């Protein structure tokens, strides 16, 4: 139980939901990029940069409003943490896409697609959950499932790392692939951080 003044500024919910919606677009573009031939990838990566800019604007709007609002719907620090973590999800996905193009990577191991599928699923769950912050209802399923997905992503990541070191003999190619794979793992961690922050908020409100 915590004391609170009314009215809450409800627009934070809309802003967070908008920010999370960009993640779905971003994750889908990343999947599209993986499936595309090398020449087509540059254009997709460029689209992802544009989505990343939109997400960036959304984050800045949240931060600005946060700093100018006296009463927030829940802890100021938690909204800040949520917006930052959503921003991180997008940044890591964009960086992964950029590196795939920059490093002129050809075919990527099948497990990289598994990593990206987890990100697509995590993005959908996150975008679905954000509007429910308003009522604080039915959120537990979301964070439990994202934590499960992150565990799965972590296992895929470690297997993929072992596979790369077993199969790739060109050290420079290995460096490139390892960096892409790590950015995707960072993205999965960032989605988990979003879910953990939502859990924190829900526990404080309960």
Question: Which residues of the chain form contacts with its own copies (CB under 8 A)?
Answer: 1-2, 63-64, 67-68, 70, 77, 98, 102-103, 158, 161-162, 165, 169, 171-172, 174-176, 178, 200, 203-204, 206
d(CA 183, CA 181): 6
From the CB of 26, what's the least distance to its own copies, in Å?
18
CB of 178 to its own copies, least distance (A): 8
57 vs 77, beta carbon nearer its own copies: 77
The conformation of residue 132, written as its DSSP 8-state character, comes to G
Q: Which CB, 118 or 185, lies closer to its own copies? A: 185
- Alpha helices in the chain, H assignment, sequence order: 11-35, 38-68, 76-102, 110-129, 140-167, 171-205
We find the least distance from the C-beta atom of residue 98 to its own copies, in angstroms, to be 7
- Residue 54 or 161 having the CB closest to its own copies: 161
Choose among 60, 31, 57, 55: nearest CA to 44. 31
């Amino acid at each position: 139980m915590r004391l609170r003044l009314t009215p809450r500024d409800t627009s934070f919910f809309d802003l967070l939901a908008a920010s999370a919606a960009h993640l779905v677009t971003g994750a889908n573009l990343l999947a599209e990029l993986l499936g595309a031939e090398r020449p087509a990838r540059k254009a997709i990566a460029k689209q992802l940069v544009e989505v990343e800019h939109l997400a960036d604007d959304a984050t800045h709007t949240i931060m600005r409003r946060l700093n100018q609002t006296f009463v927030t719907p829940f802890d100021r620090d938690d909204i800040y943490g949520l917006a930052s973590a959503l921003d991180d999800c997008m940044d890591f996905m964009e960086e992964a896409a950029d590196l795939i193009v920059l490093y002129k990577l050809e075919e990527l191991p099948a497990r990289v697609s598994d990593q990206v599928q987890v990100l697509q699923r995590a993005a959908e769950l996150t975008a679905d959950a954000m509007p429910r912050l308003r009522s604080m209802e039915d959120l537990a399923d979301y964070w439990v499932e994202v934590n499960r997905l992150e565990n799965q992503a972590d296992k895929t990541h470690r297997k993929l790392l072992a596979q790369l070191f077993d199969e790739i003999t060109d050290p420079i190619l290995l460096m490139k692939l390892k960096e892409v794979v790590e950015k995707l793992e960072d993205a999965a961690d960032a989605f988990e951080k979003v879910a953990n922050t939502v859990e924190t908020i829900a526990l404080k409100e309960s």
